Structure 1
Amino acid sequence: MVFNGWSFQQNKIFGEALAAFPDGLPDRWQEIVGKVAGKSAKEVYMHYEALLKDIKEIDSGKVELPSYNDVSYFRENSPEKFSYGSFESRQVPATCKMGRKKGSPWTEVQHR
């Protein structure tokens, strides 16, 4: 998925770099640019300016937040599309394959 010339992965790395290198840090932009592969310093800073503009418009109420009640949103943006590894491909230790322990139901006093 590419948005405004930025892939999902580039945008994610950009956000992580912004958090890792806060305002006031010497060489902040050099550090951030160094983390985002395939983007120039100018492109990274312009992306940052666009982000600030978006945040300002959202905070001022000019942009309506999306409603995520629509199930199709979750199908289109399912975690599989943005997966960084599959849990299914990992081996489960034999000790974890035991069933659930049978417990005793709570008493009325314990529910209070």
Structure 2
Amino acid sequence: MNYSNVDNNNNNQVWTRYENKMFENALAELDVSSPSLFEKIMAKMPWKSLEQIKSHYEKLIADIAMIEMGEFCFPNGADVDKKRKGAPWTDEEHR
């Protein structure tokens, strides 16, 4: 994988989907209350600085808080509460 777009001086850099998935998997595997959480994530993602990992974690926590408070706007005007249009399943299809 090419990480040439990494700017170690910029904590606000864009993370790739792959990097986000790695980060999320690390959080799922590790004890988030551990005082060495960020160092353990950095061991799994050595091309990221400790500051980048901390910044990404703080943004994730802020996003989660916004979602829980109902203050998050989904991109492209998506409305997750709208029911999908279409024909309901028949009893035969449901079996």
User: 5+ unaligned residues in a row in structure 2: which ranges?
Assistant: 6-12, 83-95
Classify the secondary structure of the residue corresponding to 1:11.
Answer: helix
Distance 1:42 1:34, change over 3 A: same
The match for 2:79 is 67
| Structure with larger RCO (C-alpha < 8 A, sep 6+) | 2
User: 5+ unaligned residues in a row in structure 1: which ranges?
Assistant: 70-112
Does the Cα contact within 8 Å between 1:10 and 1:37 map onto a contact in 2? no
The match for 2:27 is 18
Classify the secondary structure of the residue corresponding to 1:67.
Answer: coil
Give the TM-score normalised by structure 1: 0.52
For these two proteins, the number of residue pairs brought into alignment is: 69
Amino acid at match of 1:12: K
Give the TM-score normalised by structure 2: 0.60
Structure showing greater radius of gyration is 1
What RMSD in Å do the two structures reach over aligned CA positions?
A: 2.7
Deviation at 1:26, TM superposition (A): 5.0
